[in-house]
């Protein structure tokens, strides 16, 4: 079935408020999740609400967090998130990074002890909408085998990038450092679909197409993805004095406790390096030249990395956002689950 973005936002907000979240924070999470679904990033959209609601209801999310920003230098700072909802903490931290970049040319802000923050694309777009270039990275559950290894160590550790362009939406690129994000496995489960054998391995380390048999994910491009996920864990974990690698808290181990996750926003003001107008014009020209590049067999046009989400957003604005029936039925129900995820296995299977 299909739902309009504003209706999906309202359903998500209502469910999170029912779980105990404040109206302000529920609205912030709903905005981020609806943004993800509207761009076809369903792995970070409404499919997450059941889990978020259970963690909120069980006390694993601080309902009235003591958010505070500690400026540590002319262009740097740490945003203390107090294990509040990560979507709201990350947005507020990005606001601080944007402010620093507007003043000094660069703003680097770490988010300390936060909850899961959803799609990073949301936050880098926040900066690009202010004519800034942004990079955001965050750590996640240890669910990826290192290259050459047989047991998980790092998380999917995503990276997002955005830049403003003339006469168009910002270009946004958001990727996990695995072949696919864990949320894509969740999405496949919700749809009862198989996954490609290149995404993950089972308990024996063998490729699997069954999303319920996933025991670990695989790094993208082998050793290259492995190196990127290590970099992300250092920047969003060790750099902020937080747990790293296999010490990062599992999403499902204990929903009564905070996640203590880390995230890092890096914001660059193009006006400190070149003409802002020329910068945005060149970004637009780059996109035009990519579009004009001869397409390979089987492709109708070359797109810039991340452009498919922009195309999907346009389509969904007219046709509505497709939502799996089970997810929709949960959103419209009066139910808040207390026993779906807590102390489930690493991949949300009951132990």
The residues annotated as belonging to the active site are 116
Which residues does 291 contact at the CB level (< 8 Å), separation at least 6? 301, 302, 303
Give the C-alpha separation, 267 to 102, whole Å: 9
Give the C-alpha separation, 86 to 82, whole Å: 10
Which residues does 233 contact at the CB level (< 8 Å), separation at least 6? 139, 154, 155, 157, 244, 245, 248
Residue 147 corresponds to which tokens in the numbers above?
């290259």
Task: Please work out, in degrees rounded to the nearest 5, the angle formed at the alpha carbon of residue 297 by the alpha carbons of 295 and 303.
Answer: 35
Structural contact between residues 25 and 50, judged by C-beta atoms closer than 8 angstroms: no
Give the C-alpha separation, 101 to 192, whole Å: 45
């Amino acid at each position: 079935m299909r739902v309009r973005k504003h209706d999906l936002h309202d359903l998500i907000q209502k469910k999170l408020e029912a779980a105990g979240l404040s109206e302000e924070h529920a609205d912030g999470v709903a905005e981020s999740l609806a943004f993800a679904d509207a761009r076809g990033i369903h792995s970070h959209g409404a499919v997450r609400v059941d889990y978020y609601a259970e963690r909120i209801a069980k006390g694993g999310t601080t309902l009235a967090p003591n958010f505070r920003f500690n400026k540590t230098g002319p262009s740097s700072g740490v945003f203390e998130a107090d294990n509040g909802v990560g979507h709201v903490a990350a947005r507020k931290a990005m606001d601080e990074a944007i402010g620093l970049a507007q003043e000094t040319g660069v703003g680097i802000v770490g988010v300390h002890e936060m909850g899961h923050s959803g799609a990073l694309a949301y936050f880098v777009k926040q900066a690009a909408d202010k004519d800034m270039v942004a990079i955001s990275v965050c750590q996640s559950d240890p669910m990826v085998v290192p290259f050459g290894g047989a047991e998980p160590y790092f998380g999917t550790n995503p990276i997002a990038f955005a830049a403003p362009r003339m006469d168009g939406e910002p270009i946004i690129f958001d990727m996990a450092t695995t072949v696919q994000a864990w949320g894509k496995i969740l999405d496949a489960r919700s749809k009862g679909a198989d996954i490609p054998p290149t995404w993950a391995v089972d308990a024996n380390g063998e490729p699997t197409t069954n999303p319920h048999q996933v025991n670990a994910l695989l790094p993208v491009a082998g050793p290259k993805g492995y190196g990127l996920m290590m970099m992300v864990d250092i920047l969003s974990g060790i750099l902020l004095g937080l747990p790293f690698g296999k010490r990062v808290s599992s999403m499902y181990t204990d929903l009564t406790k905070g996640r203590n996750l880390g995230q890092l926003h890096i914001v660059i003001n193009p006006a400190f390096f070149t003409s802002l107008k020329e910068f945005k014009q060149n970004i637009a020209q780059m996109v035009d030249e990519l579009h004009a590049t001869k397409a390979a067999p089987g492709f109708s046009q070359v797109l810039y990395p991340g452009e498919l989400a922009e195309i999907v957003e346009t389509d969904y604005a007219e046709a509505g956002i497709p939502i799996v029936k089970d997810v929709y039925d949960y959103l419209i129900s009066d139910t808040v689950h207390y026993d779906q995820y807590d102390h489930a296995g690493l991949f949300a299977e009951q132990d």
